[in-house]
Structure 1
Amino acid sequence: MAAHAAVPARHHGSLGWAMPAALGVVYGFYAAFVERDGGAITGGDVLLGVVAGVVFAALAYTLGRFQASMPRELRAAAYGALCAASMGYLISLAGGSVLRSAAIALAIGAGMGLATFYIFYERE
């Protein structure tokens, strides 16, 4: 008698919060580093890095929680928008103009959106 084994569901465990937290820490450190601009570390730089990292981690966590309920096109657009907004902010911290920040962020976001759409399309 052949037994049919059930395929276990994929559970990511702590990766659901660990990945956004790690990305938030890296993003916060980089934002503080860019804002420091080679000078001494100030309390404002640290505060900016902490706030930027927490906001980025919260947005990434929220997107990760709701991505399963989104169609792949919307999911890819959301990842592209998150990437574009975060990179645009870092470019503006580095002293780029609003137009330059928006143009580079749009290009990066479009690339991320296309790449994630391809990944989601191939996996589904």
Structure 2
Amino acid sequence: MAHAAPAQGLRTPSARPRTPDVFSARTHRIASWATAVVTGLVYGYWVAANNRSGGPITGWNLLLGFVSALVFAALWTGVHALAPRMRRELHALLWAAFAGCAMGLLYSQSAESVLRSTAMGLAVAAATFLVLFFRYYTHEDAAGHRIR
């Protein structure tokens, strides 16, 4: 049976050129830090808002928000630096633990029980693990090397 010969000029999916990187390494570094700071500030505000439950803003409430923002940004930066060096299972597990703990603290500030906060954190962690494991599993070759 005859087979079609490969045509000239057609590229295989693995031979596609990468999109050009128009930003410098310095811009990427600044964007990485800015993402951590802005996300931390949003998270800290959210924790403080849940804690006060619509009441007046107090000094302790501001302190809780800024400390939460600082810890969140530091952990975000640490996980962002450490996770890509791990295998896909641990990579997904680390992000899932981070997301579950962050959600558990956020939910616990809304005056819910510890068991409910733990259940919400575990649910978010499980969903995060499943989504990220699937993503990392489908973006690696058989040897575990990321396809870029």
119, 135, 144: which is aligned to 1:103?
A: 119
- Measure how far apart 1:123 and its partner are: 2.2
Distance 1:34 1:13 in 2: 32
Q: Which runs of 5+ in 2 are unaligned?
A: 1-17, 141-148
User: Which structure would you say has the larger Rg?
Assistant: 2
127, 133, 142: which is aligned to 1:117?
A: 133
TM-score normalized with structure 2 length: 0.73
Distance 1:18 1:78 in 2: 22
Match of 1:19 in 2: 35
Give yes or no for the alignment of 1:50 onto 2:66.
yes
- Runs of 4 or more, structure 1, over 3 Å off, are 7-12
Match of 2:85 in 1: 69
- Measure how far apart 1:63 and its partner are: 0.6
Distance 2:36 2:49 in 1: 20
Q: 8 Å contact 1:16–1:64 — kept in the other structure? A: no
Match of 1:30 in 2: 46
- Measure how far apart 1:96 and its partner are: 1.1
- Code of the residue aligned with 2:106 in structure 1: it is L
SS of equivalent residue, structure 1 residue 99: helix
Aligned-residue CA RMSD (Å) = 1.9
75, 79, 89: which is aligned to 2:105?
A: 89
Match of 2:144 in 1: none
Distance 2:37 2:134 in 1: 25
Q: Which runs of 5+ in 1 are unaligned?
A: 1-6
SS of equivalent residue, structure 1 residue 13: helix
Distance 1:72 1:22 in 2: 27
Q: 8 Å contact 2:83–2:95 — kept in the other structure? A: no
**Number of residue pairs matched?**
118
SS of equivalent residue, structure 1 residue 26: helix
- Code of the residue aligned with 2:63 in structure 1: it is L
